[in-house]
Amino acid sequence: MRAVVYSQTGEPEVLHLAERPVPEPGSGEVRVRVAVSGVNPTDWKGRRGDAAGEPVDPAQVPNQDGAGTVDAVGAGVDPSRVGERVWLWEAAWQRIDGTAQEYVALPERQAVPLAEGVSFDVGASLGIPALTAHICLTSSEAGPRRLEPGALAAQTVLVAGGAGAVGHAAIQLARWAGARVIATVSGDEKRELARATGAQNVVNYRAPSAAEEILRIAPGGVDVVVEVAAGANAALDTAVLAANGTVTPYATDGGSQLGISVGDLMGRNVRYQFVLVYTVPPAVKDAAVADVAKAAADGALEVGADAGLPLHRFPLEQTAAAHAAVEGGAVGKVLIDVG
């Protein structure tokens, strides 16, 4: 089968097409014929590593997310799963086999049934972005711990970076769960994308009046901030948080430091809950998987320009270009057509 691999860390050019044996699913595993592979920032960061030129042995197939069809199962797995359309998550986490290949074998819980009518493009765009968004939205001390229609009806959610993949999923999930959503963006193009995603209000965070504008929309402050840049946005978040509010940073913000006013935030019982989807407890992840699958089945997690997340497509042999696009800050979702 065709697979994209890298045997040393470095720039996108370390990725190359190779022929590998079709994997056999082990006990508790399914084998999936991959149709579409999704690319996330963690994929290129893993490929780059801490320093260029470090050996990767055995060679690694990149990409955590994808979608396709189960074509074989291992011992202990219900044979009726063969033929099932699925979306994949964390395929390459602490494993050498990601989704940038024609077939991948992985634990069956990481191949989630894709509801009838939900496209492979949607399936390959769920995974890391949607699970991250779910965990951010359910990390408040006040809850809820699960999402469903109405679960966030009493809350105002601020989504920083509303035109990004996680921001896009956070807006969609929060709206599906009934929240009032405010998104922040950096310009007019991204403003239109956040609106298309479903944000009721969109604010340019670069404007000097950004905090005042958010507080005009939500005079009592916001309950949850889904935060892509905690360091850069610390002052804005501090200004607009409600009492007992929660900030959920999910990205490293370029390694910046977080400067906050301890006394001010302590007085309001504000909480910072950092989120790394790979290392949350299994029960939290399982809940996120179940809720994301339900939201997708309800049609709440659409992708494409009309849904606020433009798609950028690459064939498998151009996986290096796909990684470069994500690393270069492509607005939207980068997908690789595998099958």
| pLDDT grade for 14, boundaries at 50, 70 and 90 | very high
Q: Is the pTM of this model over 0.85?
A: yes
Based on its alpha-carbon atoms, the radius of gyration of the chain, rounded to whole angstroms, reads 20
Percent of the chain at pLDDT above 90?
A: 94
Is residue 74 over pLDDT 90? yes
Phi, psi of 234, deg, nearest 5? -60, -45
Instruction: Give pLDDT, residue 254.
Output: 65
Instruction: Give pLDDT, residue 255.
Output: 64
115-145 residue pLDDT tens: 999 999 999 999 999 999 999 999 998 889 9
Mean pLDDT, residues 56-83 taken together: 98
Map tokens 């780059």 to a residue.
48
Is residue 214 over pLDDT 70? yes
Superfamily the domain 2-126+301-337 falls into: Medium-chain alcohol dehydrogenases, catalytic domain (3.90.180.10)
Class of domain 131-278: alpha beta
Instruction: Give pLDDT, residue 171.
Output: 98
Is residue 261 over pLDDT 80? yes
3-class DSSP state of 235: helix
Instruction: Give pLDDT, residue 259.
Output: 86
Domain residue spans in the chain? 2-126+301-337, 131-278
Q: Is the dihedral of CA 213, 216, 219, 222 positive or negative?
A: negative
161-196 residue pLDDT tens: 999 999 999 999 999 999 999 999 999 999 999 999
